[in-house]
Chain A
Amino acid sequence: DAGITQSPRHKVTETGTPVTLRCHQTENHRYMYWYRQDPGHGLRLIHYSYGVKDTDKGEVSDGYSVSRSKTEDFLLTLESATSSQTSVYFCAISESNQGREQYFGPGTRLTVT
């Protein structure tokens, strides 16, 4: 199994509070991704990183920011959580942006009340 961990694994927070999710990898892969999974939508890309300090937006980036100060860590921040951000969040890593597969972390279930 690829060495990817996510923390926390579960979190309940209140509307308006900031939340940071962490993804940590031990594979030294260049590319890292944050997806959210919602019923009926599959997984949708929030943000991704193609190197330290290099990030770009995905399909559903509004309300989210990311940072990558080290190869192994990719942080996802909800500046002011809303109920629409209740979801399961997955981190993924990949050696390249070509045909290699993406390896996924175990997911974080976030509930915003």
Chain B
Amino acid sequence: AQTVTQSQPEMSVQEAETVTLSCTYDTSESDYYLFWYKQPPSRQMILVIRQEAYKQQNATENRFSVNFQKAAKSFSLKISDSQLGDAAMYFCAYRSARNQGGKLIFGQGTELSVKP
């Protein structure tokens, strides 16, 4: 069975600075997808970024980028130029490319606070 681990329950960053959130996963599969979701205090789950395992190039979305290390099974999220609105819970998630119903397997989450 696949597992996802986020080892940082809480992180803090100064506004305008850069922060990296860590995520590791365990799988025996070679084809899968990885996601970072953001959950602000409103509780809404918002997709931040997605990475296909077959792609070597790291995904980027504006100020958000990932460092995908397939061999190390690591998938970290870098937030550049942090803004107050980035304060939220961040979840890393794994999705198999096999026909397993497309379910997401989540990490425990990292709560990010942004200091003005």
Interface pair B102/A56, CB less than 8 Å apart: no
Bound CA span A48–B116, Å: 41
Bound CA span A96–B107, Å: 22
| Closest chain B residue, CB of each to CB of A58 | B103
Decide yes or no whether A41 CB sits under 8 A from chain B.
Answer: yes
Interface pair A88/B43, CB less than 8 Å apart: yes
| Closest chain B residue, CB of each to CB of A101 | B47
B7 CB, nearest partner CB in chain A, Å:
13
Interface 0/1 of B13-35, CB less than 8 Å to A: 00000000000000000000101
Interface pair A102/B97, CB less than 8 Å apart: no
Bound CA span A46–B52, Å: 25
Q: How many contacting A-B pairs (Cβ < 8 A)?
A: 58
| Closest chain A residue, CB of each to CB of B50 | A101
Decide yes or no whether A94 CB sits under 8 A from chain B.
Answer: yes
Bound CA span A8–B100, Å: 29
Residues in B with CB closer than 8 Å to A107 are 43-44
The B interface is mostly helix, strand or loop, or mixed, namely loop
Interface pair B103/A42, CB less than 8 Å apart: no
Bound CA span A41–B103, Å: 16
4 more CB-based (< 8 A) A-B contacts, given A35-B104, A45-B105, A48-B102? A35-B106, A45-B104, A48-B101, A58-B103
A97 with B99, Cβ < 8 A, contacts A43-B91, A88-B43, A90-B45 known:
yes
27 contacts between A and B (CB under 8 A): A31-B101, A40-B108, A42-B6, A42-B106, A43-B91, A43-B104, A44-B106, A45-B103, A45-B104, A45-B105, A48-B102, A50-B101, A56-B101, A90-B45, A94-B102, A97-B100, A97-B102, A99-B50, A99-B95, A99-B97, A101-B35, A101-B50, A102-B102, A104-B44, A104-B45, A106-B43, A107-B44
